[in-house]
Amino acid sequence: MLADIEEFYRLDRLPHIWCPGCGNGIVLACLVKAIKELKYDQDKTVVVSGIGCSSRASAYLDFNTLHTTHGRALAFATGIKLAKPELNIFVITGDGDSSAIGGNHLIHAARRNIDLNVVIFNNNIYGMTGGQYSPLTPKVQKATTAPYGTIERPFDLAKLVEAAGATYVARSTAYHTRLTTELIINGAKNKGFSVTEVISQCPVSYGRRNRFNTPAAMLEWQREMAVPVIKARSMAPEELEGKIITGELYRGHAPEYVSEYTKLTQRLKEEAEGV
Amino acid sequence: MLADIEEFYRLDRLPHIWCPGCGNGIVLACLVKAIKELKYDQDKTVVVSGIGCSSRASAYLDFNTLHTTHGRALAFATGIKLAKPELNIFVITGDGDSSAIGGNHLIHAARRNIDLNVVIFNNNIYGMTGGQYSPLTPKVQKATTAPYGTIERPFDLAKLVEAAGATYVARSTAYHTRLTTELIINGAKNKGFSVTEVISQCPVSYGRRNRFNTPAAMLEWQREMAVPVIKARSMAPEELEGKIITGELYRGHAPEYVSEYTKLTQRLKEEAEGV
Amino acid sequence: MSNPRCEIRLSGSGGQGIILAGIILAEAAVLDGRNVVQTQSYGPEARGGASKAEVIISAGEIDYPKVAEPDVLLAMTQEAYNRYGDSLRKGYPLIIDSTLVQEVGQVTGPVYAIPITTLAREKLGKEMSANMVALGALVGLTQAVTWEHLLKAALSRVPKDTADLNQKALELGREAAQARLKQQGINGLACGKESLGLVSP
Amino acid sequence: MSNPRCEIRLSGSGGQGIILAGIILAEAAVLDGRNVVQTQSYGPEARGGASKAEVIISAGEIDYPKVAEPDVLLAMTQEAYNRYGDSLRKGYPLIIDSTLVQEVGQVTGPVYAIPITTLAREKLGKEMSANMVALGALVGLTQAVTWEHLLKAALSRVPKDTADLNQKALELGREAAQARLKQQGINGLACGKESLGLVSP
Amino acid sequence: MSGPTKPRLMQGNEACAEGALAAGVRFFAGYPITPSTEIAEILAERLPLLGGKFIQMEDEIASMAAVIGASLAGVKAITATSGPGFSLKQENIGFAAMAEVPCVVVNVQRTGPSTGVPTAAGQGDVLQARWGTHGDHPVIALCPSCVRETFELTVTAVNLSEKYRVPVILLMDEVIAHMREKVELPSPGEIKVIDRKKPRTPPEKFVPYQPDADGVPPMANFGEGYRYHVTGLIHDKMGFPTNKGPEIAGLVTRLTGKIEQNAADIIRWEGLYLEDAEVVVVAYGCVARSAREAVKKLRREGLNVGLFRPVTLWPFPAAEIAKRASRARGLVVAELNLGQLKLEVERASQGKTGVHFVGRIDGELLTPREIIAQVKGVL
Amino acid sequence: MSGPTKPRLMQGNEACAEGALAAGVRFFAGYPITPSTEIAEILAERLPLLGGKFIQMEDEIASMAAVIGASLAGVKAITATSGPGFSLKQENIGFAAMAEVPCVVVNVQRTGPSTGVPTAAGQGDVLQARWGTHGDHPVIALCPSCVRETFELTVTAVNLSEKYRVPVILLMDEVIAHMREKVELPSPGEIKVIDRKKPRTPPEKFVPYQPDADGVPPMANFGEGYRYHVTGLIHDKMGFPTNKGPEIAGLVTRLTGKIEQNAADIIRWEGLYLEDAEVVVVAYGCVARSAREAVKKLRREGLNVGLFRPVTLWPFPAAEIAKRASRARGLVVAELNLGQLKLEVERASQGKTGVHFVGRIDGELLTPREIIAQVKGVL
Amino acid sequence: MPKDPANIGKPEVAIKDSWCKGCGICVALCPKKVLVMNAQGKAVVACPEKCVGCKMCAEHCPDYAITVEVE
Amino acid sequence: MPKDPANIGKPEVAIKDSWCKGCGICVALCPKKVLVMNAQGKAVVACPEKCVGCKMCAEHCPDYAITVEVE
Ligand SMILES: Cc1ncc(C[n+]2csc(CCOP(=O)(O)OP(=O)(O)O)c2C)c(N)n1
Ligand SMILES: Cc1ncc(C[n+]2csc(CCOP(=O)(O)OP(=O)(O)O)c2C)c(N)n1
Ligand code: SF4
Ligand code: SF4
Ligand code: SF4
Ligand code: SF4
Ligand code: SF4
Ligand code: SF4
Ligand SMILES: [Mg+2]
Ligand SMILES: [Mg+2]
């Protein structure tokens, strides 16, 4: 499977550190395929990640890669993009990284509608630290810090980033590899802040504790729960309970931050010359 | 005007430090009236604030008052509420305090739907530090750090907290004092996370720079721009451009965090006794 | 004298533009070729309460940059006077805005009571210009900086379309000051013990 | 001996339950009334790669808590063997899961090759029990802790409904070990130079 | 019941969690981070059973804030983290110091700056524990070197935080945190628990920041009838913001002064063979174990070597070190960093003897052999 | 053009902003906080005119992150803050140290821990500047004591950060930041600007963390054809995570070692009347001005007193202090804190002379009179 | 002070001078032009008789300087 | 290695043993039961002839251990 995309991997870093059956490798390949199809110059492409199992992904990719501090990938990426707007930036982040400690940077990047492409590897758990619940762990599910089932309500992350100002919001799963690739491509083509949430599996820190016997069972669960957004529109809320709505969930129109900045400097230049 | 509510003020701390014409004093009185009408026990009521001009308010009130660090009021308040659920908690915060540095705590408190009552003193600016733009400064408006007009898009804060999970979202202005009081009362009655955003005026750090000649002109602007939510529903988006939609904007239903916790401990107790 | 040094404190309330006045004064001193340090009080204090700006003008190096005992004090509000009145060096001049400062305690030096705010309101139609009136008066009295450079400094710091207004305000202040000096029969005040001494009583 | 001390290293891959085995061993030693320290390697390492648990059992105080040169090494995967094989004290016993460890380099002590994973799969229908089979074998060979306490410790650490399975697994390991010892004509191994020495070769 | 409980195998992090419960802690807020996570996990299981509260916050900043909030509400509270999280907590640790809110912050140190090596051992946060937050501030930091001591020092940490109204840092390391050891815990009856002083005046007369002779003001909990103001601004005795010079100076001085003034009560250290020691090894935390083994071996070889183990790193037992410095031929500081406490030892010994150093920063514990080699070099 | 520019009145914060621009900084990310805000405000106005970028981030953590990002993209970047924000930035400062990303952090110190007195002067973050982030890490901290020097040291800070690939702290104080002074700035031609070393190998052969003899590896900017990995984890020479002991130790040692090794190039200090000084006053930042006035006055009284002003607080000019300690009858450290640099002076002087202290923590600047009194007490 | 009988039943507006910061809000918002700013820049009651007791002034005085008593 | 003529035009599945972590996903997802786990816990191609080249296995192998060549 790597053959067609191996030029984008740092092959000498493989095999990766992820556990057997972990979804990260699958989702990562989707991202790489998307970049390949986008025909982005490898030298002009940057992959920024936070901290978490998923965020380890950046080290395996042969781009300009930056593995930041926990939750802060988007803030680092904002600096890079503003400093050098010609770079194409992808941000890899986990559910915890993006929505727990990184929640503020997520909504502010969305508000600015800055041209960054975020892929959220949502395995519903803090994988790296061994299975504590995250803001995206479904209620009642178990985690090491929710031994009696979590009592917290998870975010509807897509709704949140839409409300915060993202202009492209999509969702897929590790099972739906082709869809994932397509959605990432479309997100990248959106000039603005694009978020693609990919439901992935963590068999070790989440699956085991929540009655998934094998990684394959988790992938199958993803297949079963997925409802394409078009179909979902004609379904009742109760029917959608617990389902994963996939596809392009939202597209908005708003000025992109770096372009606005460029316009400002342009305007100032013209004013200065005009005087 | 104080006569009917002065028992809730620390009179020896007055006059307050706010500039002539600042809206903080007006909004604060609305909050105090709401608490009075709610008949909360002063000893069982806590007012938590962050850092900013508005957040100085807590010192003037005769409750258990806590003036925290910038942006963190909700996290402190979460600790208090969870530790002692019988306390009634009001959180006073500015637009910067709540939506810039404090944005993450805001959305997470909303997600948990924890029974806190937030009053956001939104003067569209960082007042305390002298007039830098905030995530709620309208586009093109000027600020010391946006000398050419801000190019950032502001949050629709109400939409954001709704998407994050708040179960009561309302908006009013400093001009609409009675409405403000009512909305805060209704928010307090909601068992869950309640947000009341009050548009207020900062004549010194915002008004002057943005062509408001007097504090009164800013209040009048609030009056003119306000559109009650019922009326707004029948208006076109273009008509609503730049308007302040007031009233109860959203009401949701979801389990409240501390109650869920109590239920959990109850369940565990029963299980333990059952064995 | 080896280190003629003049220390000036301007005080008032947050919204009065005291700090701007201090900066203009300092800038004028720079244009005069003097060494100068200007400091101020900042923050919540500068909101409601008393606010101050300080200027040290010296021919020599200025190490310690703060003013402890000013050689001249301008007080634009009662609160400012109450707070800083005592700090004035014994026997040195006090300038007050008599519109807003109603009570002055025991003083050891000359007091120049000028209705600064009233002048600004009545003669210029702009209370906001009171700071410039005050600055004009202060320089008129002390001649701490040359008038030419004061004007130049002021005009470089205010919006272009208010240049006239501000110049008028400065002059209004100077005239009021000169009228007082005339009453006293002197040309100006020494500023500081080791005075810049442009004039003498 | 004043400080009879036995140092054991268990190694394998992240998912094999090596650390749990180490903990049970340590707990059994506590029940035996020994001093014990148990350590392990954590983190991303414990994800894909080699993972280890170490147990020091001693009659005396245990200060330095780490194992440098174990008196016995269990290697449950090839990678674990490759990584830790060399650390084994010269002449001391090596236990390998011969299902997964195919190549063993130059060794100086006895090698006990037991098809641990195969046993678990074939005799118990649960590969996941390989760690318990290994632990049974290790204790069977070294008698580092008493069998009684090993069982007790194990049953207190595993889910109730798997008690039987786990007991069987332990016994399966012990039997395999005893069969080997019988071949050698001994009862057990000395564990460590300053050995706990429950038996002697 | 008295006498120690049954011996059991216990992990360092578990001992910390148990110690917290024994000290009366009934609130935990945290954010997971290796190698401290087990503390959260154990408390997540135990607290709801004891009527206590466990909450996983959105980050470490919020965790620290929630802990302070809970403590103000009268519930003893603790949080646990490691380096990156400890850095994030600093601002709010300063708040706790300023507002004098008792709380305990456990920092299980790992290797390296930044993300470093999350699962390897280190002692690189020793000076950060003292100086990590801005401004002059008080702090107490305790450092256990075995599992039982982890239990005990967690109790002590909670007690000292309550007694002196100060954030107390429990500075653990990965080795102690993750290792399991046979321990016999004291029985509940043997454990001394200290609670914050309550106001002795009625609410109308309550002056919230009026210290007693020990420098510590009694503390009222929110919701108990004493309505007062708590702020991170410099405040007067009533708790209200001030910018009057003497009040500023008075508060800052008292905040650190209350720790200095009570140093004798707070400072803890342990010595081994110090009486006639020509060389004194100074070590703490996990390294103290290697050092103890080294010293014992050296004694067996007939060499006059002793061990000085600071248990409170802050306040630092400087006077005790000075005493050793005057007598010994040399001090050998052994740490898992580039020499942090060494700086303090150098300062305390004022050139009276040579201060030598043996460190390791590769994520592994110093071995007794390495310490022995360094000591022999000095002898 | 050469020779100084026309004298003008300039504020400390303004000089900092101008210095940054003169050093080639074209990126600022920050979050407003008194008393540093003017730096942001001036750069918000100036940068867009120069094709540079200004962004106000959602908080200080994000600001620090954005600055690092921009620097990795090849644009010199700076941020400015004060105590509370400095505490929040610590985690990412550690990242910059670990990943060796040049950047400058201005901390305009104010009074007190926590929120303190936001508008009053203090020097309470001296040790935090050194030890604020977790783990052993390198740092350079510079401390200006007049407006012109603020300009110059900002240039120096940017230069040193580029040269040594290290975060540099410009430790200002409220007095210097807010005061306006007559200054004559050097002309652009006089200003020496240093840029990071670029790789000298083609991309295929590039080893991103292979240091030159000076301990500093050349740096490739993102987007320029050198694709490499940057991480806050301990990494090998290729930039990839490692947990091999020797690689861990190698990196941590080199990170701090590159500063120690180049100390002679980095350390800056200034002396006044030191040759025959019987008492040496040690002061920095705004206090150095009071001290200078005090020393001049004392000299006029015929007393042999000198001034030692560390300009780099970190690395600390310990050898120079040791030299003074051997000769002087006493050292008097004057600071706006409870004695932070004093600890370092004590350590450096190793008991060779008495180290005395005069401090102020009431938000006001020490007066020459107070310093004189303390010096006379020692003489 | 006993009330002037002519004013009984009339709303009574009072301004606490020391708390007034002179923002001018009350003057601008009073529908009856009851209030004016004085030379010291403080609000004063100029035409008490015109007051209708609507409390616009008191409700919007940020400094709690105004009391309106309506019997 | 030249291809067995019988297999020309047939999809070819290959598993890189050293990269396989034995998660079992490919085995579970293969619609044709082409793959099985071996005693060492690694996936192996048991019935190559049944392969229809759908690439379900390769697309979902988290470890990039599977190549499916379809001519
Ligand atoms: C400041 C900080 N806090 C906590 C951690 C510990 N930590 C590392 S990864 C992680 C959570 C990862 O969860 P997620 O983002 O969902 O990624 P996953 O591992 O599940 O892919 C945490 C809490 C850290 N490294 N830094
Ligand atoms: C960590 C930290 N960063 C920055 C500041 C400086 N600061 C104080 S208040 C404030 C903004 C206040 O704005 P807002 O919340 O809108 O309140 P307002 O003053 O407008 O009422 C800032 C940036 C601080 N005190 N702490
Ligand atoms: S812990 Fe979970 S997320 Fe992390 S590598 Fe293992 S399976 Fe994947
Ligand atoms: S600065 Fe603005 S918000 Fe702050 S007190 Fe003044 S008017 Fe009010
Ligand atoms: S109560 Fe109404 S009418 Fe009377 S003074 Fe106030 S605003 Fe005017
Ligand atoms: S509204 Fe209040 S503060 Fe403003 S002028 Fe009127 S009385 Fe004075
Ligand atoms: S390509 Fe399809 S049929 Fe062939 S082995 Fe893979 S999953 Fe099975
Ligand atoms: S999916 Fe890949 S890693 Fe998993 S068993 Fe199959 S080949 Fe092995
Ligand atoms: Mg996750
Ligand atoms: Mg605001």
Closest CA to E263 of E214, E309, E325, E307: E214
CA dihedral D43, D49, D55, D56 (to 10 degrees): -90
Q: Reply yes or no on whether the pLDDT at E86 is more than 90.
A: yes
Which residues have any ligand 5 atom within 6 Å of their CB? G 11, 13, 30-32, 34-35, 51-57, 68
Q: Reply yes or no on whether the pLDDT at A208 is more than 80.
A: yes
| Strand-by-strand arrangement of the D5-13 sheet | D111-114, D94-97, D72-75, D5-13, D50-58, D35-40, E180-183, E8-11
From chain A, the residues in CB contact with E45 under 8 A are: 147
Residue of B13, B17, B205 to mutate when probing chain C, most C C-beta within 10 A: B17
Atom number of ligand 6 nearest to Cα G24: 5
Q: Give the number of whichever ligand sits closest to the CA of residue B18.
A: 4
Pocket test for ligand 3, best of A17, A26, A128 (most atoms within 8 A of CB): A128
Quick one: pLDDT at residue D4? 78
Decide if G39 touches C, using CB distance below 8 A.
Answer: yes
Range with lowest mean pLDDT among A67-76, C43-52, G28-37: C43-52
Quick one: pLDDT at residue F5? 75
Q: What is the pLDDT confidence band of residue B17, given thresholds at 50, 70 and 90?
A: very high
Note the pLDDT tens digit of each residue in F347-366: 999 999 999 999 999 999 99
Which residues have any ligand 7 atom within 6 Å of their CB? H 11, 13, 30-32, 34-35, 51-57, 68
Give how far B208 is from chain A: nearest CA, Å.
Answer: 23
Average pLDDT over residues A13-38: 97
Determine B/F contact with 3+ CB pairs under 8 A as the test.
Answer: yes
Decide if F348 touches A, using CB distance below 8 A.
Answer: no
Average pLDDT over residues F310-337: 97
Quick one: pLDDT at residue E5? 75
For residue A85, whether the previous peptide bond is cis, meaning omega lies within 30 degrees of 0, is: no
Quick one: pLDDT at residue H51? 97
Which residues have any ligand 3 atom within 6 Å of their CB? A 18-19, 22, 24, 53, 123, 127-128, 202-205; D 47
Structure tokens at A170: 């999509």
Q: What is the pLDDT confidence band of residue H4, given thresholds at 50, 70 and 90?
A: low
Three-state DSSP at C74 gives strand
Average pLDDT over residues F207-217: 98
Q: How far is CA A105 from the centre of its chain?
A: 14
Determine C/B contact with 3+ CB pairs under 8 A as the test.
Answer: yes
Asked whether the beta carbons of H51 and H34 are under 8 A apart, the reply is yes
Give how far A102 is from chain E: nearest CA, Å.
Answer: 8
Is residue B204 in contact with ligand 4, taking CB distance under 6 Å?
Answer: yes
Note the pLDDT tens digit of each residue in C87-138: 999 999 999 999 999 999 888 899 999 999 999 999 999 988 999 999 999 9
The domain limits of chain H are 5-69
Note the pLDDT tens digit of each residue in H8-64: 678 999 999 999 999 999 999 999 999 999 988 999 999 999 999 999 999 999 999
Three-state DSSP at F254 gives helix
Q: Give the number of whichever ligand sits closest to the CA of residue H31.
A: 7
From chain D, the residues in CB contact with A67 under 8 A are: none
In this structure, which residue's CA is closest to atom 2 in ligand 8? H61
CA-nearest residue to G69 within chain B is B1
C-alpha distances out from residue B25 to B53, F337, G31, H26, Å: 11, 36, 21, 67
Q: How far apart are CA B219 and CA F123, in angstroms?
A: 42
Q: What is the pLDDT confidence band of residue D1, given thresholds at 50, 70 and 90?
A: very low
Q: What is the pLDDT confidence band of residue A274, given thresholds at 50, 70 and 90?
A: confident
Q: C64 and F289: CB-CB below 8 Å?
A: yes
CA of A128 to the centre of ligand 3 (A): 6
Alpha helices in chain F (DSSP H): 12-22, 37-46, 60-72, 83-99, 126-131, 147-164, 174-178, 245-261, 263-266, 285-300, 318-327, 341-349, 368-378
Q: B65 and E61: CB-CB below 8 Å?
A: no
Pocket test for ligand 7, best of H12, H25, H27, H35 (most atoms within 8 A of CB): H35
- The yes/no answer to whether this complex scores an ipTM above 0.85 is yes
Residue of B69, B70, B111 to mutate when probing chain E, most E C-beta within 10 A: B69
| Strand-by-strand arrangement of the A168-173 sheet | A226-228, A244-251, A168-173, A194-199, A117-122, A88-94, A45-49, A64-67, F229-231
Structure tokens at D57: 């059992």
Q: How far apart are CA B107 and CA A106, in angstroms?
A: 11
Domains annotated for chain F, with CATH where assigned, are 8-190 (3.40.50.970), 268-378 (3.40.50.920)
Biggest CA-to-CA distance, chain D: 45
CA angle at residue F115 from F109 to F120, to 5 degrees?
45
Quick one: pLDDT at residue D48? 61
Atom number of ligand 8 nearest to Cα H29: 1
Q: F98 and E115: CB-CB below 8 Å?
A: yes
Q: Reply yes or no on whether the pLDDT at H2 is more than 90.
A: no
For residue B15, whether the previous peptide bond is cis, meaning omega lies within 30 degrees of 0, is: yes
Q: What are phi and psi of E121, to 5 degrees?
A: -85, 145
Give how far G23 is from chain C: nearest CA, Å.
Answer: 11
Closest CA to A33 of A78, A72, A80, A90: A90
**Nearest Cβ partner for H66 among A1, A14, A174:** A1
Structure tokens at D18: 């090596």
Average pLDDT over residues B88-92: 98
What does the DSSP 8-state code read for residue B41? -
**Nearest Cβ partner for F56 among B51, B71, B133:** B133
Note the pLDDT tens digit of each residue in B191-218: 999 999 999 999 999 999 999 999 999 9
Quick one: pLDDT at residue D190? 56
Q: What is the pLDDT confidence band of residue B274, given thresholds at 50, 70 and 90?
A: confident
Q: How far apart are the first and last CA of chain B?
A: 61
CA dihedral A14, A20, A23, A27 (to 10 degrees): 20
Please, which chains are in contact with H (at least 3 CB pairs closer than 8 A)? A, D
Determine C/H contact with 3+ CB pairs under 8 A as the test.
Answer: no
Pairing assessment for the beta strands E305-310 and E269-272 based on DSSP bridges: antiparallel
Average pLDDT over residues A73-101: 98
Note the pLDDT tens digit of each residue in D25-36: 999 999 999 999
Instruction: Identify the CATH class of H5-69.
Output: alpha beta
Quick one: pLDDT at residue G4? 65
Average pLDDT over residues D57-80: 95
Pocket test for ligand 1, best of A55, A99, A129 (most atoms within 8 A of CB): A129
Note the pLDDT tens digit of each residue in B173-194: 999 999 999 999 999 999 999 9
Amino acid at E240: F
- Residue recorded with tokens 């040791």: F322
From chain A, the residues in CB contact with H19 under 8 A are: 14-15
Q: Reply yes or no on whether the pLDDT at D194 is more than 70.
A: no
Quick one: pLDDT at residue E275? 96
Atom number of ligand 8 nearest to Cα H23: 4
Structure tokens at E333: 């500081």
Tell me which residues of chain G, numbers 36 to 65, contact chain B at a CB-CB cutoff of 8 Å. Answer: 55, 58-64
Give how far B100 is from chain F: nearest CA, Å.
Answer: 5
Q: How many CB pairs under 8 A join A and B?
A: 82
Strand partners, A199: A122, A173
Contacts of F367 (CB under 8 A, 6+ apart): C64, C66, C68, F290
From chain G, the residues in CB contact with B60 under 8 A are: none
CA dihedral A171, A176, A181, A182 (to 10 degrees): -70
Domains annotated for chain B, with CATH where assigned, are 3-273 (3.40.50.970)
Query: How much of chain F exceeds pLDDT 90, in percent?
Result: 98
**Nearest Cβ partner for A145 among E34, E41, E58:** E41
Average pLDDT over residues B61-81: 98
Neighbour tally for E291: CB within 10 Å: 31
Q: How far apart are CA D149 and CA G15, in angstroms?
A: 86
Asked whether the beta carbons of F267 and F315 are under 8 A apart, the reply is yes
CA of F284 to the centre of ligand 1 (A): 41
CATH of domain D5-199: 3.40.920.10
Give how far F222 is from chain A: nearest CA, Å.
Answer: 6
Residues of B with CB under 8 A from a CB of G: 1-3, 9, 14-16, 18-26, 29, 174-175, 177-178, 203, 214-217, 219-220
Note the pLDDT tens digit of each residue in F83-139: 999 999 999 999 999 999 999 999 999 998 999 999 999 999 999 999 999 999 999
Which residues have any ligand 1 atom within 6 Å of their CB? A 51-54, 70, 94-97, 121, 123, 125-129, 134, 202; E 31-33, 60, 84-85, 88, 115
Q: How far apart are CA E144 and CA E154, in angstroms?
A: 9
Q: What is the pLDDT confidence band of residue H3, given thresholds at 50, 70 and 90?
A: low
- Residue recorded with tokens 């004591």: F145
Mean pLDDT across chain E? 97
Atom number of ligand 4 nearest to Cα B23: 8
Asked whether the beta carbons of D150 and D170 are under 8 A apart, the reply is yes
Q: Reply yes or no on whether the pLDDT at A31 is more than 90.
A: yes
Q: How far apart are CA F285 and CA F333, in angstroms?
A: 12
In this structure, which residue's CA is closest to atom 2 in ligand 6? G61
Q: Give the number of whichever ligand sits closest to the CA of residue A70.
A: 1
Range with lowest mean pLDDT among B172-181, C181-190, E51-60: C181-190
Quick one: pLDDT at residue G71? 76
Mean pLDDT across chain A? 97
Q: Reply yes or no on whether the pLDDT at A7 is more than 90.
A: yes
- Residue recorded with tokens 């310490």: E371
